[in-house]
Structure 1
Amino acid sequence: MASTKTNPESGFNPTTKTFHSLRPPIYLPQDDAPISVVDYALGYALSIRSASCWPDSTAALIDSATGQRIPYSDLLKRHKSLSYYLQHVLKLSRHDVALVICPNCVQVPILYLSLLSIRVVVSPGNPLSTGSEIARLVELSGPTIAFATSSTAHKLPKLRLGTILVDSPEFESMMIRTTFDLDLDHGPQPSQSDVAAILVVALCRSSAVAAGERASPPVLLYTVPLFHVFGFIYSLKSVALMETVVMMPRFGLDGMLKAVEEFGVTDVAMAPPVVVAMVKSGSSERYDLSSLKSLVIGAAPLGKDVIAAFKAKFPTVELAQGYGLTELTGPVSRVLGPEESKKWGSVGRLYGLLEAKIVDPETQEVLPPGKQGELWVKGPTTFKGYVGDPEGTIENMIINGWLRTGDLCYFDDQGFLYVVDRLKELIKYNGYQVAPAELEQLLQSHPGVADAAVIPYPDEEAGQLPFACVVRRPGCILDERSVMEFVAKHVAPYKKIRRVAFVNSIPKSPAEKILRKDLRKMVLALLLTTSSSKL
């Protein structure tokens, strides 16, 4: 509970040196009345259905590729039928682990709900992973069964209960059988408590922003993968709030814009590179995007220059940045509403269940508003540890209940959080710390740059040099000198780009995070094989 000495403007308590949430309080179920994530999500959905004027045929899930629609009435029936089949036919039970290797599709949220309802542990994986990477995931999580698609099943090893294809007629039949009563164990697992807690946060957030403000349910387009914590949690949240969700099996800018036009999408969850692409591509002019109201941005910071360019091109679309961690079962903060979205560069205020500290990574001194340091977070959604990870790692990450995020951040005097960069990504140049994210945001604002990333390059005198990898826009003439001069005009001398390589693409994860290790390998290979600046 926050002390009376907590500053009502910033949420900072100078006595405890802790930042408290400025959001309305959120109340979780009591320990003596536990509730599972499925009970909570579906119970909330049913209450909305009974109280709202939205038709029962409102689409819950839409496949953007095929146009298949699953209304809420069918979704609930399919969930119950599939849950029964998993429990009574396949004999899955509490503590069994199910591996899910699927691209985004309408079957996956129903599968998640059904597995969670019978207390099966869900282990989602990247469908683009190689066979050896999936084998490592199997080794860590120990699944008894796998769910895949016809395009991913060949990469899976044999499991005790085999692999079920979610895009097969057999899986469809599992969801439309006669439903019987389920024999569910209602004792909550710690992991489900975490998910239920964060679901409460998401519901309160969305209801505060959206409920009562729109005459019809919002239509969300998910460009984020469902195996990522962002997509996993939001898919459950969307079911609970009866939001229509459009699933894209494979992301492409034109495909996304076409889906916005075709399905009247109001909200899109995406990573910063997609925002950059919307700003720089002429594709948006070919589609009717009038239904679009907001973009929810996560996974990485979004630069002020990019925000300014986006608002100039799409003045009626709200940009709502957020920040979250898998280790906290999802979101930590988010911008809410038009007024807060004016705080360009901020990832919003803390959610109601969380507390935070900013800690100097060198001295461990706890810092006040305006000072940069490592973000530490505490709350009921903190994870219990990594599967198969040594205990020492957890002990280093969680100290007296505080999770060390590894992110360099600061709060302003109004309680808004700003993410500077990952601490481990900082470039050490002549004793100065240079944040790659700041330089990347600046480079992305250049009209001739389609994409960019900055990595450290070893140097005997300076320690490390900021090295820029740049993707030119088609038809643009851009050389190493012009890139370095552009950056030099906008930053302090120690932040200057010292070397540049032009590349065809920046390697990224499905969540659109830069794969810096892969990028460093690319640069090393370039420097070892040629003196050219073209990969």
Structure 2
Amino acid sequence: MFRSPYPDEVIPNVSVYDFLFRDLSADDAARVALIDGPTGDETSYGALKAQIDLLAGALAARGIGIGDVVALHSPNVPAFATVFHGILRSGATATTVNALYTVEEMARQLQDSRATMLFTVSPLITVASESAAFAGIPDERIIVLDGLDGYTGLRDLLAEGAPAPEVSFDPATHVAVIPYSSGTTGFAKGVQLSHTNLVANVAQCAPVLDVSDEDRILAFLPFFHIYGMTILLNLALSRHAALITLPRFDLAQFLQVIQDQKVSFVFIAPPVAVALAKHPLVDQFDLSSVRGMMSGAAPMDESLANAVTARLGVHMQQGYGMSELSPVSHVIPPDRDDLSRGTIGFPIANIECKIVDVETGAELDMPAEGSSRPGELWVRGPNVMLGYLGQEQATHETVDDDGFLHTGDIAQVNHDGSFQIVDRLKELIKYKGYQVAPAELEALLLTHPEIADAAVVAQPDPAAGEIPKAFVVRREGSALTEGDVMTFVAEHVAPHKKVRAVAFIDAVPKSSAGKILRKDLRGR
């Protein structure tokens, strides 16, 4: 058993709203909370709180409250914060939808989560409205954040002036948000996170993420993803820092905003680190305001982290987490320059973890020198999810009776107590930090009339980390090409799930039980 080197944090037994906004002082209310990166428009903490209360009131006036699920489908814009926290303030549950989802993917989430209302933005209205129709959400229950003829706008709801409702629930058991994760296998599942889960993870991260009310933080990592949701939308707001939103990642705009807005802290994923380390455009901008940077969502190797540090002169941290952990469990502390930047650091406050031999089940010890043998990382703490929505068996397989979440990632513990991720027990592909489930792509491929069998594995890629590669068995007489396969998949999935390499084979290798032998395919 490994415990955090940090003393336990006291986890307040309050809602997310109360934790972030209830005791806002006059000075903090006057601070800038959100800046729209493309336009420069600012929203103060006081204005944000007022908007959240007004939206909660408008939802309550429509009968939305405890027991209801409201979907939020939007890129990073300041209004996202108003809607997300307004939903939670009303007592309802938010389910955040990937802004890149296709109609099929979004409809599946809306139906599974039983969402009865949907917030979106005008550029996404086609996908949003078609998905809502599949899920039985009428047009009058679709709210367009930036306004659109034929739909209610966010301003319309705020203008109603309805008072925020008085709600009462147990923060430890009331579901605040249902993001979707593929977990260890298969299609995406709804991860039920309580108010306490979210509050706890912010409190746990406080000692190891050096963010203050003087920081200006760039928020391009999507708020709909748990990393952006907790570390940017919640942790940064809890510190009363200024969040500068970008709806998508564009390197030139990213660098321009850092320069113009004097950004001091940036949260990234490894593909952005590649650009920062290698792209010539970086030299054209003044990035001297950046003092700190943290990478998460996928493993970053030490050489890449060192290259970014050397080029920009920033302090680079790396962390580890997953949606089921709300999400953070390990971080390199800001005061430990002696640690390898290829590690994920130490367990954060209130965390206990184990490394378990996947063959024997034995718990591995910290070595006197070097690193331990690899084993699956198990984690326990107040940030562990309540469970998967409607998936009791999957929940039982992921969280054991002692409360340890079996991450499916293979880790080692080093002699100094730091951890590193070395492999993946689960078969998920991490494309630019996004999870891609091979089983989902295989099921889709098998619907093609000219494909007899298929398997999908991760192929290492220097820019994306990993890309989905499909091994395809063509039906007899088929002239199917690699381009045909990639185009077919692209028509049915979000961009990060696209098959980006194809190989044709005579047969998919399988065990006697019929399980695909992915190890044999990865070696090809």
TM-score by length of 2: 0.74
| Contact 1:198/1:329, CA 8 A, preserved across alignment | yes
Instruction: Return the alpha-carbon distance in structure 2 between the equivalents of residues 119 and 338 of structure 1.
Output: 39
What are the within-5 Å matches in structure 2 for residues 141-152 of structure 1? 141-152=113-124
Equivalent position of 1:126 in the other structure: 98
Instruction: Return the alpha-carbon distance in structure 2 between the equivalents of residues 266 and 142 of structure 1.
Output: 40
Q: Gaps spanning 5+ residues in structure 1: where?
A: 1-17, 428-435, 445-449, 459-502, 529-535
| Contact 1:397/1:404, CA 8 A, preserved across alignment | yes
- Deviation (angstroms), 1:511: 12
Equivalent position of 1:383 in the other structure: 385
What are the within-5 Å matches in structure 2 for residues 171-190 of structure 1? 171-178=154-161, 180=163, 182-188=165-171, 189-190=173-174
| Contact 2:2/2:353, CA 8 A, preserved across alignment | yes
Instruction: Return the alpha-carbon distance in structure 2 between the equivalents of residues 65 and 149 of structure 1.
Output: 16
The one-letter amino acid paired with 2:410 is: L
| Contact 1:104/1:250, CA 8 A, preserved across alignment | yes
For the structure 1 residues 177 and 314, does the alpha-carbon distance in structure 2 shift closer, same or farther, using more than 3 Å as the test? same
Equivalent position of 2:376 in the other structure: 374
| Contact 1:62/1:244, CA 8 A, preserved across alignment | yes
Select the residue among 499, 504, 507 that pairs with 1:518. Answer: 499
Deviations 1:359-408 (A, max 9, x none): 1111111111222100011112222222233x322222122221110001
Equivalent position of 2:22 in the other structure: 43
Q: Could you say what secondary structure the match of 1:323 adopts? A: strand
Q: Could you say what secondary structure the match of 1:112 adopts? A: helix
| Contact 1:201/1:352, CA 8 A, preserved across alignment | no
Equivalent position of 1:323 in the other structure: 320
Q: Could you say what secondary structure the match of 1:366 adopts? A: coil
For the structure 1 residues 152 and 426, does the alpha-carbon distance in structure 2 shift closer, same or farther, using more than 3 Å as the test? closer
Equivalent position of 2:72 in the other structure: 100
For the structure 1 residues 302 and 37, does the alpha-carbon distance in structure 2 shift closer, same or farther, using more than 3 Å as the test? same
| Contact 1:103/1:250, CA 8 A, preserved across alignment | yes
Q: Could you say what secondary structure the match of 1:292 adopts? A: coil
Structure 1 runs (4+) deviating above 4 angstroms are 454-458, 525-528
For the structure 1 residues 75 and 341, does the alpha-carbon distance in structure 2 shift closer, same or farther, using more than 3 Å as the test? farther
Instruction: Return the alpha-carbon distance in structure 1 between the equivalents of residues 309 and 163 of structure 2.
Output: 52
Instruction: Return the alpha-carbon distance in structure 2 between the equivalents of residues 120 and 263 of structure 1.
Output: 35
- Deviation (angstroms), 1:177: 4.9
Equivalent position of 2:413 in the other structure: 411
Select the residue among 292, 295, 309 that pairs with 2:293. Answer: 295
The alignment status of 1:227 with 2:224, answered yes or no, reads yes
Equivalent position of 2:445 in the other structure: none
| Contact 1:195/1:329, CA 8 A, preserved across alignment | no
Deviations 1:383-438 (A, max 9, x none): 2222233x3222221222211100011121222121112113499xxxxxxxx99x
Equivalent position of 1:280 in the other structure: 278
Instruction: Return the alpha-carbon distance in structure 1 between the equivalents of residues 307 and 66 of structure 2.
Output: 50
Deviations 1:321-351 (A, max 9, x none): 0111111121111112142574321112111
Q: Could you say what secondary structure the match of 1:347 adopts? A: coil
The one-letter amino acid paired with 2:98 is: N
Equivalent position of 1:62 in the other structure: 35
| Contact 1:61/1:244, CA 8 A, preserved across alignment | yes
For the structure 1 residues 341 and 179, does the alpha-carbon distance in structure 2 shift closer, same or farther, using more than 3 Å as the test? farther
- Deviation (angstroms), 1:157: 2.0
The alignment status of 1:24 with 2:7, answered yes or no, reads yes
Deviations 1:233-273 (A, max 9, x none): 12022222211001111111111111101111111111101
- Deviation (angstroms), 1:223: 2.2
- Deviation (angstroms), 1:518: 2.6
Instruction: Return the alpha-carbon distance in structure 1 between the equivalents of residues 208 and 324 of structure 2.
Output: 25
Deviations 1:151-200 (A, max 9, x none): 11222323155200011283124335546353222443443474434434
Select the residue among 152, 162, 168 that pairs with 2:141. Answer: 162
Instruction: Return the alpha-carbon distance in structure 2 between the equivalents of residues 511 and 380 of structure 1.
Output: 32
| Contact 2:355/2:374, CA 8 A, preserved across alignment | yes
Q: Could you say what secondary structure the match of 1:376 adopts? A: strand
Instruction: Return the alpha-carbon distance in structure 2 between the equivalents of residues 231 and 132 of structure 1.
Output: 24
The alignment status of 1:218 with 2:220, answered yes or no, reads no
What are the within-5 Å matches in structure 2 for residues 197-216 of structure 1? 197-203=197-203, 205-206=205-206, 210=210
For the structure 1 residues 452 and 102, does the alpha-carbon distance in structure 2 shift closer, same or farther, using more than 3 Å as the test? closer
For the structure 1 residues 73 and 407, does the alpha-carbon distance in structure 2 shift closer, same or farther, using more than 3 Å as the test? same
Instruction: Return the alpha-carbon distance in structure 1 between the equivalents of residues 290 and 421 of structure 2.
Output: 26
| Contact 2:470/2:499, CA 8 A, preserved across alignment | no
| Contact 1:324/1:331, CA 8 A, preserved across alignment | yes
The root-mean-square deviation of aligned C-alpha atoms, in Å, is 3.1
Q: Could you say what secondary structure the match of 2:109 adopts? A: helix
Q: Gaps spanning 5+ residues in structure 2: where?
A: 177-192, 367-371, 430-456, 472-485, 508-524
| Contact 2:17/2:88, CA 8 A, preserved across alignment | yes
For the structure 1 residues 80 and 341, does the alpha-carbon distance in structure 2 shift closer, same or farther, using more than 3 Å as the test? farther
The one-letter amino acid paired with 2:199 is: L
Instruction: Return the alpha-carbon distance in structure 1 between the equivalents of residues 73 and 284 of structure 2.
Output: 34
Q: Could you say what secondary structure the match of 2:336 adopts? A: helix
- Deviation (angstroms), 1:296: 1.3
Instruction: Return the alpha-carbon distance in structure 2 between the equivalents of residues 27 and 198 of structure 1.
Output: 14
The alignment status of 1:78 with 2:55, answered yes or no, reads no
Identity in percent: 26
Equivalent position of 1:463 in the other structure: none
| Contact 2:377/2:411, CA 8 A, preserved across alignment | yes
The one-letter amino acid paired with 2:196 is: A
Q: Could you say what secondary structure the match of 2:55 adopts? A: helix
| Contact 2:4/2:351, CA 8 A, preserved across alignment | yes
Instruction: Return the alpha-carbon distance in structure 2 between the equivalents of residues 172 and 384 of structure 1.
Output: 34
